[in-house]
Amino acid sequence: MIRKTRLFTPGPTPLLPAAQFAMAAADIHHRTPEFRALYTRVLAQLKEFVGTSNDVILLSSSGSGAMEASVSNLTSPGDRVLVLSAGKFGERWTGIAKSFGCEIDLVSEPYGQTFDMEKVKAALKPDTRVVYMQANETSTGTQHDVKAVAQLLKDTNSEALLVVDGITGLGTSTLDMDDWGIDVLIGGSQKAVMIPPGLSYLAISERAWARMESTKNPRYYFDLRKERKNAVKGESAYTPAVALIAALGAAFDWIAAQAATTDNPAGNLVEGRKKLVHNAEVISEMTRAAMVALGFKLFTESPGSAATAVYAPEGVDSGLVVKELKSRFAAIITNGQGEMKGQIFRIAHLGYFDYMDMIALIGAIEQVVVKSIPQLKASFGDGLIAAQKVYAERTA
């Protein structure tokens, strides 16, 4: 049988064809009027996609670079910060903050769980300078309550800035930066915007910009003030990833076109973003329903729409599902990370995934289950029927 490789991973995600074409044609020098026009347009589109009136800075780095920038620019050695950690990427915040000499207070929950606001409130100190957290902990498929944390900071009159890793949250869930009071919201190119790795972006509040003027940690390439200053001129501080920026503009055009109307055939990026989120929500619900119908147990009680994490049955290494999907169907899903490797597998829903993709993957998982995991006692069609019912209900 012919096997067509398909990514179902939470990053990199499948590439948008229009973005690939844009990259191929992006033979532009970055200190020219042509590039300045492109860069200015993409930065404006980023504000619409994030949904903010704040300035958005674009970096040539992975999302981890933007995470580091949000520590180096907003803290001084010895500053007290609060990290909310419940997975591999929450642990990354701790590692970065430690590298820059911060005093770390930690609210840590087991993988797959989310945060009790009373514990967060108890850990918040009068001298806490920044709170760092994830919107979606992709290592576990868990969605955290960013709005509740933001409201807690308001209710306690805390001076702490709220920094949110929205790398897999943007485009898969509702994140209202301005209304909730998020100070820095981070995104990445290889996620819901459907282009290759290599770009990260940060939407930054005026409170956070003001904080940068007094902080003392070293920064050079990741000096966000340099990027803001140059962005006004339509330039980046250093050589940008030109082809990726062209791809990002094409992706935003495509997302906007999903909300095209007769009166506005180019579409609307704000409405297109909402459709992108709705798509992720529907196919994630389809997947969760299918996995339960096949006899699997879901890993988290607070699932997000970026990825679904599923326990392997007792006595079965989750790598079995990962390996059989790849060897038999060229479908790429991911194993668990950190302490959950071998215990869970993860299926992504962010970006360029649709109904047909998920139906095909669920059918392939049924083949793996019936052949290799007989203890689940599943039959062909169990997962597909459950997914079909969800799709019918959510798109009626």
Residue 264 lies in a domain: no
pLDDT at res. 272: 97
Query: Do both 183 and 298 map to the same domain?
Result: no
What would the pLDDT profile of 35-92 be if each residue is shown by its tens digit? 999 999 999 999 999 999 999 999 999 999 999 999 999 999 999 999 999 999 999 9
Tokens of 11: 């990053």
Q: From the DSSP assignment, how many helices (H) and strands (E) are in the chain?
A: 14, 15
pLDDT at res. 396: 87
Query: Do both 107 and 171 map to the same domain?
Result: yes
The model's pTM is: 0.97
Based on the structure, what is the number of domains in the chain? 2
Looking at residue 15, its amino acid is: L
Q: What 3-state DSSP class applies to 137?
A: strand
Query: Do both 153 and 24 map to the same domain?
Result: yes
> What gap in Å lies between CA 173 and CA 147, rounded to an integer?
12
* Dihedral of the alpha carbons of 24, 25, 31, 35, in degrees to the nearest 10: -110
The single residue listed with the structure tokens 């360029």 is: 352
Query: DSSP strand E in 205-343: where?
Result: 297-298, 307-311, 331-332, 334-335
Query: Do both 247 and 284 map to the same domain?
Result: no
Residue 46 is part of a domain; what is its CATH number? 3.40.640.10
Q: What domain range is 186 assigned to?
A: 17-253
Residue 283 is part of a domain; what is its CATH number? 3.90.1150.10
Q: Give every residue of the chain whose pLDDT is below 70, as ranges.
A: none
Asked if 277 contacts 171 with a C-beta cutoff of 8 angstroms, the reply is yes
Query: Do both 58 and 142 map to the same domain?
Result: yes
* Dihedral of the alpha carbons of 376, 380, 381, 384, in degrees to the nearest 10: 70
Query: Do both 97 and 54 map to the same domain?
Result: yes
Tokens of 191: 């996620």
- List, in order, residues 6 or more apart from 363 with CB less than 8 Å away: 383, 384
pLDDT at res. 339: 86
> Is 36 among the annotated ligand-binding positions?
no
Query: Do both 279 and 249 map to the same domain?
Result: no
The single residue listed with the structure tokens 């800035």 is: 161
Residue 1 lies in a domain: no
Query: Do both 121 and 233 map to the same domain?
Result: yes
